[in-house]
Amino acid sequence: MINPILIIAIALGTAFSLGLLKKLGRELSFAITLIALAAMAFISAQWLSAFLTYNMLGPVVTTAGGRAPFVIVLQMGHMEALFTLLINVMGVMGAFYLHDRLTENGNGAMAVLLAGIMGLNGIILTGDIFNLFVFLEIASIATAGLVLLVTDFKSLTAGFKYMLASGLISGLFLLGIIFLYNTTGTLNIRELLIAVPGTIKAGSVASFLVMMAILLEMKPFPANGWGIDLYSGAPAGVSALIASASATAAYFVLIKLLPLGGTVAYKIAAAVGITTFVASNLVALSQRSATKLLGYSSIGQMGLVVGIYGLNYHLGSKAFLIIFSLLGTHYLAKAGLFWLSGIVQSTEIDKWSALRKSPVLFVLFGIFVFALMGFPPFPSFFGKWELIMGLVASKLYWWAGAILLGTMFEGIYLFRWFSRALKLDNQELAKPRSTIYTFVPPLVFAILLFPAGYYTSTYTGGIGIMGFAPLLFIMLIGFLDFLPAYIKNILSIAGVAAYSWYLWPHVQGNTFKIVFAGIFMGGALLALFAGFYRRGKHLGFYPTTLLMFLGLGILVDASNLMELFYGWELMTIGSYFLLIRGERSLPHGYSYLLFSLGGSLAMMFGFGLAHASAGTIELSALNHIHVLPALAYSLMLVGFMTKTASLGFHIWLPGAHGEAVADIHFMASAVLLKAGVFGIILVLSGMGNSEPYARNILLVLGWIGALTALIGNIGAAFQESAKYLLAWSSIGQLGYIVFGLATMTHLGWLAAYGYTITHFLYKGILFLIIGGIAFRVGTADMYKMGGLIKRMPFSFLAVLISIITLAGIPPLVGFTGKWIFYNMIVSEHMFYQGLVVIISGIVAFLYLFRLIHVIFLGQLKDKNRRVKEVYPWLLIPAYAMLIGVMVLSMFPNTLLGPLGRMLSTAFPKGALHWDGYTASTAYGTFNMPIIMAVIGSTFAVVFLWLLLANRRAVKVKQFNIFYSGEAPSRPELTHFGYNFFAHYKKAVGFMAVPLVTRFWDQVSEGLHALAGYGRAIYTGNAQSYLFHIVGFVVAIYLITMGGLS
Amino acid sequence: MTHIALAGGALLILIGVWGMLTKKNIIRIIIGFSLFDTGLHVVLVGLGHLKNRTAPIIDSDLPREAAASRVVDPVPQAIVLTAIVIGLAVTAVLLAFALKLYQSRKTLDISELREGNND
């Protein structure tokens, strides 16, 4: 084993010799610096591997030939090994990134960097509190020196403010140290920790000052203006070092010294840390500068881990796992983002769209942002999950709530930044230039996030290998993105088929899972098949699509809540990238992601309560929760309803789906929405309907479902775009399903299941066909189409059959669903909700009639005279689903039979009674083949009669008419298909007014106003910042004296 | 004696902090920091002082065996030496910043030295 003191010796020796060897040539000096840093990293690494391999105690290295406490000691334990490794790796990468600046500024700059890294190592290793002070000072002086690598005004002011603030803070620290020494007679940290509790009274001012200093080093809100200016003012490479290496070292000081303050210190750390997390992220909401955002986010993240350390007694054995996963993610991702900010060369977030010109860098950007936000498969996902589970289990609800709120704020600004970079126009912007030096460090850190995530998961359990292995396949597809789309399509279909083959034994025998696995995997195969119509490369489409379907697969396969959540989040990432692909999808994709994030945070809290109640995260934990059950079930339902786009959470859907192209629209609407249904079924199965709170929840849920159906259908009736029409219609259809489930009756669930499956089929057909038509015609606005029946007869037939099904008109399967619904409404006496559902069913006729009439009937537009039939790649899957619709229409018992048998275990009362093809309830009977025969023959008779009667009619050619000589200014106004239901709009249009949109807009405005108010404290004036520090100390002192102790 | 040193040190600290918080001229702020630092050093030494004892220098007047009972605590003295050096370094860095700031904006008024905080 290499003596750890060599870490310090190497750094110091190299730094001094660099000063002496100025003639050496800067590249050589740079190489020497890197080698020295790498050697330091190696020493830490071999200690860490030794600690992980053997269960041993680390050495205590004494200096100056004496023994502790008379001399300074260095301590190397497993924590020290890990933390110095983090710092030294960051040293290597950070120095590598700073190559240009270091060689430009010469050996002195490299010596300063080495001294800084040495200082940080010393902070970790030293066992002497005064020595710690010395290393802190070395590190901060070196930091200020590194800030000077760029001598623009911004860096100068930032560095000056930083030096002043850190001078004041270390003064406090020094004062605390000498008081500690005065009361205990030692400076050795280990002895102090033993001595202090005995002398707590005399030492209270001493430990208070030390504690304040270490908290202030973590830049707590609001005494952190200097920190934010430092992050945004320093050169990007230096900010990365500060965010990752310095913050990590400062955090270790906190771990080492906080016990000096006793239990009060933990309480203060918890309060200060979590407040910092929430407040920093709130204030950041109104920021538009990328480096400032990163500064706020860094401070917030460090606040979070400080708070967690303050709460660690409540988190038990998982505390350090949580801390390391969050700290590690922050370390990798924040450094990466700061590095990228140096490449982009613009602090304005809107200019980051330039990064798209270097796709690899952009992918890294995405990885870092999603990792920071705690999405799988990154370590923070597991950390955040365990954190919320632990806090909720310890009944620390407000803490958990505050953390979730802070996370939401962070998501709002990080995702806004990312979404804008993803979508905003970048024609005018120059391609960001990266060299090998600036490119490698972020690449390495982004790659490291993946194994780090897997490694973390092995400690938490819950996610099996099948949560990760398919990701490798998806990455492979990502690497092959340069290939033409059809090759990737074939590979993707193979991948989905393989996964389905794996999934089948897991769902076999479970009707519930078979239904959803069928929708998800079947939908995947059909959608990918349809994807063959695409030309070109279709960059980025396949990895994200597969990610979404993997998430859906894991969702069905999940055996515990963590896996469920893991799948849910993977699906969210994938679907976000799909939905934001549309041309004008920026705001919709962004709001989709925010609703999803909010929903999943709510859901996580709900799962936490389930876990606290059952003591396990198995799926059975959802049954009969007894810890705050009403809150738990409501939160979970809210979480799942963000995906079903139920009333209140539906505003993202029309835009996101309406802008999507055919196959994506199909996936998003016919398939993805069903994930929410899956979740609601799980939750409701666990909740039951016997408890009073459950009945209240169900009542609300039922009304939400019914009103969603109404609003969705009314919304659909007033759309000009066929795609938006279908999107609104999906909202309405999902409303039926939610309503059916909320009744908690056999028939209600049967109808809901039936709708889930048939909606997949008929909506699938409509999305593919209408999307295909829009692609051919070049617009989705219905009044620009018309007469297409002549050009696209196959499309017409498919649309006709699916809208008959959708409308619930006999003889097709939609009628079956409606019939069951009406039976249920009568038998359950749900007349009010029933009325709403019936009215919305009538509204559905309106928009469906418009859909087929305006697109296919009427006059063919001149420019569409040569338009071709929809691609066969879209027609084939559509007709495959059409066959499904016809089979289910003729033999509904093939579907309803097994579903009914499954539901009879949960709802034995009120089942359908089957006798051959005849189903009966207390109110009547139903025989689909007979209905079909009757309707079919009636239709045939009328059709024949029309043929006969029209024999003598004169056929008029399309252009056998004349215009009255006026050219209308807005031609669409003269089109019958435009504003088709103007008369209805006058009557009930107020219901389609986006009240809900306005509500969310106001929430957003309010938050931004609050953020602006909070930001007002950051004046940029160094003296205000110093005053904040003094004020912070005084305030905490008063609060502590006031009650906590 | 000890009390005077402690009180004087505390006073210096307060004067220093007051200077850092209220003065507008950067040089004066740095002087405030130096006063604050010096006050800390005085407190450091003051706390290590023991009545009727001598400096911890072992020489012909003070044999090694008698040292433990006749000298003041040497640790604060060692600490203060280090702290003075560090304080010097910090002051030097601050002055270096002051110089560069003056060169770039031709002013030493701290309220002029803010940038880009409302973007």
Domain boundaries, chain A: 580-941
Q: Over 60: is that where the pLDDT of A964 sits?
A: no
Is residue B65 one of the residues assigned to a domain?
A: no
pTM for this predicted structure? 0.91
Question: By the CB < 8 Å criterion, does B33 face chain A?
Answer: yes
Q: What is the pLDDT of residues A154-190, one digit of tens each?
A: 888 889 999 999 999 999 999 999 888 888 888 888 8
Average pLDDT value over all residues in chain A = 89
Token pair of A54 as six digits: 């053997």
Please write the tens of the pLDDT for every residue from A893-921: 888 888 999 998 888 888 888 888 888 88
Residue B119 lies in a domain: no
The DSSP code sequence of A223-269 is TTHHHHHHHHHS-HHHHHHIIIIIHHHHHHHHHHHGGGGHHHHHHHH
Cβ contacts of B86 on chain A, cutoff 8 Å: 134, 137
Q: Give the DSSP letter of residue B65.
A: G
pLDDT in tens, A300-356: 999 999 999 999 999 988 899 999 999 999 999 999 999 999 999 888 889 999 999
Chain A interface includes B44 (CB < 8 A):
yes
Chain position carrying tokens 């502790």: A68
A398 touches chain B (CB under 8 A): no
Over residues A183-198, the pLDDT tens digits come to 888 888 888 888 766 5
Q: Residue A222: is the preceding peptide bond cis (ω within 30°)?
A: yes
B111 touches chain A (CB under 8 A): yes
Residue B115: band (very low, low, confident or very high) from pLDDT cuts 50, 70, 90 = low
Query: Prior bond to A810 cis, omega within 30?
Result: no
> For A156, which of B79, B101, B118 is closest by C-beta distance?
B101
- Report the pLDDT averaged over residues A734-754: 93
Split at pLDDT 50, 70, 90, the class of A201 is: low
Q: Are A577 and A388 in contact (CB under 8 A)?
A: no
**Residue B61 forms part of a structural domain:** no
Sign of the C-alpha dihedral, residues A944, A945, A951, A956?
Answer: negative
What is the arithmetic mean of pLDDT over A382-388?
A: 94
Cα–Cα distance for residue pair A240/A333, rounded to 1 Å: 10
Given a cut of 90, is residue A200 above it in pLDDT? Answer: no
Residue A481 CB contacts under 8 Å (≥ 6 apart), including other chains: A488, A537, A539, A540, A542, A543
Return the H-helix or E-strand segment holding B119: none
Give A203-257 pLDDT, tens digit per residue: 578 888 888 999 999 999 888 888 999 998 899 999 999 999 999 999 999 999 9
In this predicted structure, the answer to whether residue B119 has a pLDDT above a threshold of 60 is: no
The interface pTM score, or ipTM, of the predicted complex is 0.93
Domain that holds residue B46: 2-51+72-112
Binary contact (B36, A182; C-beta < 8 A):
no
Residue A542 · residue A488 · CB < 8 Å: yes
Q: Do B20 and A1026 touch (CB under 8 A)?
A: yes
Which CATH number is B41's domain given? 1.10.287.3510
Interface test with A, best of B2, B93, B101, B111 (most A CBs within 10 A): B93
Nearest CA to CA, how far is A416 from chain B (Å)? 16
Beta carbons of A1023 and B21 less than 8 Å apart: yes
Does residue B57 belong to the interface with chain A, where contact is any CB pair within 8 Å?
no
Nearest CA in chain A to B92: A141
Q: Which amino acid belongs to residue A406?
A: G
pLDDT tens-digit profile of A416-436? 999 999 989 888 888 888 899
Partner B contacted by A153 (CB < 8 A) = yes
Of the candidates B21, B97, B116, which has its C-beta nearest A160's C-beta?
B97
* Number of helical (H) and strand (E) elements in chain B, helices listed first: 4, 0
Express each pLDDT in A678-705 by its tens digit.
999 999 999 988 899 999 999 999 999 9
Flag whether B100 is in a domain.
Answer: yes
* B50 CB within 8 Å of a chain A CB: no
C-beta of residue A405 within 8 angstroms of C-beta of residue A477: no
What's the CA gap between A254 and A705, in Å, rounded?
51
CA closest to A128 among chain B residues: B79
Residue A847 in tokens: 């928009």
Cα A700 to chain centroid distance, Å, stands at: 27
pLDDT tens per residue, range A980-1014: 787 777 777 776 667 778 888 888 888 888 888 88
Beta strands in A821-936 (DSSP E): 913-915, 918-921, 924-927
- pLDDT score, position A202: 46
Name the residue among A135, A359, A414, A371 with its Cα closest to residue A256: A135
As a whole number of angstroms, the distance between CA B76 and CA B58 comes to 17
Q: Kindly determine whether residue A156 and residue B100, on different chains, have CB atoms separated by under 8 Å.
A: yes
Cβ-based neighbours of A147, under 8 Å, separated by 6 or more: A155, A158, A159, A162, A230, A233, A234, A235, A238
Cβ contact A178–B43 (<8 Å): yes
Asked whether residue B64 is domain-assigned, the answer is no
Which residues of chain B neighbour A163 with C-beta distances below 8 Å?
Answer: 90, 93-94, 97
Residue B30 lies in a domain: yes
Calculate mean pLDDT across residues A806-824.
86
Q: How many domains are contained in chain B?
A: 1
Cα(B78)–Cα(B76) distance, integer angstroms: 5
Residue A145: Cβ within 10 Å count: 21
**A118 with A84: CB under 8 angstroms?**
no
Q: Is B89 on the interface with A (CB under 8 A)?
A: yes
Give the residue on B whose Cα is nearest the Cα of A1013: B118
Residue A647 pLDDT grade (very low, low, confident, very high; cuts 50, 70, 90): confident
Give the pLDDT score at A969: 62
- The tally of CA atoms less than 13 A away on the side-chain side of residue A992 is 24
Interval A439-490: pLDDT, tens: 999 999 999 999 999 999 998 877 888 888 899 999 999 989 889 989 999 9
Q: Would the CB atoms of B97 and A1026 count as touching at under 8 Å?
A: no
